[in-house]
Copies of this chain bind each other. A is one copy, B any other.
């Protein structure tokens, strides 16, 4: 490491390199970008000078001058600890990489205002496009940013008040089929756990359940619906109460993986095994200690197709706003109820173990 390289604060510029190599600025530019032909000897002198100084091109300056793209897309998303979102992010990251783009992952916030602010910040940074898992609320504010030239694709939920590309699930059909499964098994008192109806997806899923009742000419009792179950913990607590009722439901329908996991935990804790249908599959659902049915879909495709759509826009393709609807399917999950043999050697709770 040579002492010249320690600039701490001021990075060497093309001009510095040009001076050191005794050539013009433009020659350095040519060498650095490696497109136009440069005399070999000159080129190597430039390379050497750049190396010695620790020159690193300033990408933003190049973009500014040339008017080229930042080769960056933004993703607005909630919580990466939720595997639904993490899978979307992984898919988007893969597609971005395949296109040689960097990905800025930002928080979509709690409401439409937060979201708009995040979008505007990314627009100031001149991202080439935006993938948004929208919060609830009106998204008309984003129209302006789209008109200004930042294409956007919405994931999981269509934007409200905005005509834009989206990739969504067939929530209605999935929920209808899932609830139908329980109804066809003879259950009519089905406990339904959903997150807030502020999420349009939840409304669609609930509508699907209602339709399953209607399909069979059965009455739907709205009091079966438990609202605002946002976390597994909340779901488990609500389940505790429900299971203590005099006539608890004989089966359960959970609106997403969080409520599903919470319900599973509660049922297990109470040593009950009422049939359960859960919208969203999740890791290790196959090893749950009881059978269950999940409404599954291609989570990765949700992100990947959205990103592909966005890149079509970025490449300048012109087409009417498109909504891709991903199908769902019912999948059996969980283990059967027969126990594994007692190994006799199972480890016992041990001191120092939580």
Interface positions of A (Cβ within 8 A of B): 1, 5-9, 11, 54, 56-61, 63-64, 70, 72, 79-81, 83, 86-87, 89-90, 93, 97, 102-107, 120-126, 143-144, 147-149, 181-182, 185-187, 250-251, 261, 264-265, 267-268, 271-275, 282-284, 286-291, 293, 300, 329-332, 335, 337-343, 345-350, 352-354
Contact = CB atoms under 8 A, between A and B. Distances in A.
A329 B352 CA distance: 8
Contact of A58 (B124, B275, B284, B348): B124
Contact of A284 (B103, B282, B330, B337): B282
A8 B151 CA distance: 11
Contact of A80 (B86, B329, B349): B86
Contact of A54 (B147, B274, B343, B354): B147
Which 4 pairs across A and B sit closest by C-beta, in order of nearness? Answer: A80-B90, A273-B343, A86-B86, A60-B60
Nearest to A81: B90
Nearest to A8: B149
A195 to B, nearest CB: 18
A288 B286 contact: no
Given A125-B102, A149-B9, A283-B283, A273 B54 contact: no
A345 B250 contact: yes
A250 B143 CA distance: 63
A278 B81 CA distance: 21
A332 B346 CA distance: 12
A287 B275 contact: no
Contact of A148 (B54, B64, B346): B54
A273 B342 contact: yes
B343 A330 contact: no
B271 A340 contact: yes
Contact of A350 (B61, B122, B272, B330): B330
A198 B200 CA distance: 47
Nearest to A274: B343
A17 B82 CA distance: 43
Contacts of A149: 7-9, 11
B64 A61 contact: yes
A340 B125 CA distance: 55
A151 to B, nearest CB: 11
A268 B347 contact: no
A140 to B, nearest CB: 11
Contacts of A341: 271-273
A60 to B, nearest CB: 4
Given A5-B148, A56-B120, A186-B345, 4 more contacts: A61-B64, A265-B286, A290-B346, A332-B349
A64 B58 contact: yes
A350 to B, nearest CB: 6
Contacts of A329: 352-354
A335 B125 CA distance: 50
Contact of A60 (B105, B125, B181): B125
Contact of A86 (B61, B81, B107, B182): B81
A244 B234 CA distance: 44
